[in-house]
A and B are shown apart, each in its own frame.
Chain A
Amino acid sequence: MIDEAFMPFSEIIKKMIPTETEYFDEEAGVHSYIYEASIESPMELDVQWDDNGQLQIGSVPPLYYVDTTFKPSYHRISFTAEKNEDNAD
């Protein structure tokens, strides 16, 4: 099983997608929203086989923010979160 410090890959993606994406200024009568966000981040991976023979991809953003003597191996993920077509404009 994947290490408990790591989470399934789908969780990481969900957590990276911005949640507060609409901005209002009632006085100025302005309404803005994010229609596209490009996200790029280093991350650590823990790749393990589970009991059912399925490959599990565990992932986590960098755990250390300072230089250490024991450098983690940083893989890199990048993706674009795009506003769905059927959203209200």
Chain B
Amino acid sequence: MPTDNKTWNLEDFVDSLVVELDKTRETLAIKSINKALSYSVKDMTLDLNIFPSFDGDQVQFITAQPGQEGASKVTIQLGSITDQQVRATTKMKGSKNDINIDEIDIDKATKRKLRKIGVTSVNDIKEIEKKDVDLGKASDNFIDYTKLANQIQKSRRNQAPPKVHAVSLSLDDEKMPYILVKGENLAVNPKFNPVAVVNSTLAEVMHSSENEMKIQINQQHSIAKSNELIITFDPFAIVKMNINV
């Protein structure tokens, strides 16, 4: 007799079922190399005896076990589907710059609410924005759009974090010393002016771009053998460095 069955939701069950059917298909494909006659599995139907439960948010099922009576019946039909139909009915997932909502640092309840209104990625949110739909209203004021937009920006920044390749000291045309920081993805947010702090004293950022930043220093910064440099490129990218002169 099997151990106690565990609860599952339909999505996970169908996912596992499809994985199992893929395995069958792969084996049959190999078999067909050596065997003249090979077969494909079509139109599968599963009648399941299950007990559904609803926790106020999600419907979950548990498969009936020996000795259990009064189970409900769920029929899952997996019909054949053509490539063309798949293209017509499926959203293209995993596009290069898209971010799945699972990768965004938001609470589970918001994620569930987003899924309920058909939003599974940042591109979906953009599409909603384009159509001038108020995400707050669409979710019965459950989703705080400003908070969500910040979390998306944070996730985007995590995908392209700042990388510092080199830091050097130099003199400008007026013989004033400055720190030159070179790297990738440095000041990428044009709406935010980067802030630099050298040895706990605020320093003026003379120039900033994606690959370069110049920070003016003077006597107040007490440059010594070992110095601390903290740069806030934007609210989601703060870098702390120790510079040895």
Identify the A interface with B (CB < 8 A). 2-3, 5-6, 8-10, 13-14, 17-18, 21-22, 33-34, 37, 44-49, 54-58, 70-84, 87-88
Contacts and interface: CB of A to CB of B under 8 A. Distances in A.
Contacts of A10: 20-21, 23-24, 27
A83 B37 contact: yes
A44 B1 CA distance: 10
Contacts of B3: 3, 46, 48
B2 A79 contact: no
Given A21-B37, A80-B43, A13 B24 contact: yes
B64 interface: yes
Contact of A73 (B28, B44, B68): B68
B27 A14 contact: yes
Contact of B63 (A9, A33, A45): A45
B48 interface: yes
The B contact surface, by secondary structure, is mixed
B49 to A, nearest CB: 5
State which size class the interface on B falls in: 35 or more
B102 to A, nearest CB: 13
B82 to A, nearest CB: 14
Nearest to A81: B39
B5 A46 contact: yes
Nearest to A22: B37
A58 B13 CA distance: 12
Contacts of B16: 9, 54-57
Interface string B1-34: 1110110100011011100110110011000100
B40 interface: yes
Contact of B6 (A5, A13, A47, A80): A47
Nearest to B32: A84
From B27, B37, B63, B65, residue with most partner A Cβ within 10 Å: B37
A74 to B, nearest CB: 7
Interface in B47-65: 47-49, 63-65
A9 B20 contact: yes
Contacts of B38: 83-84, 87
Given A5-B2, A79-B42, 18 more contacts: A9-B17, A13-B20, A14-B28, A21-B39, A22-B37, A37-B39, A46-B5, A48-B3, A56-B16, A57-B13, A57-B20, A58-B2, A70-B66, A73-B65, A73-B67, A75-B49, A75-B63, A81-B39
Nearest to A9: B20
B18 to A, nearest CB: 10
A52 B63 CA distance: 21
Nearest to B23: A10
B45 interface: yes
B42 A82 contact: yes
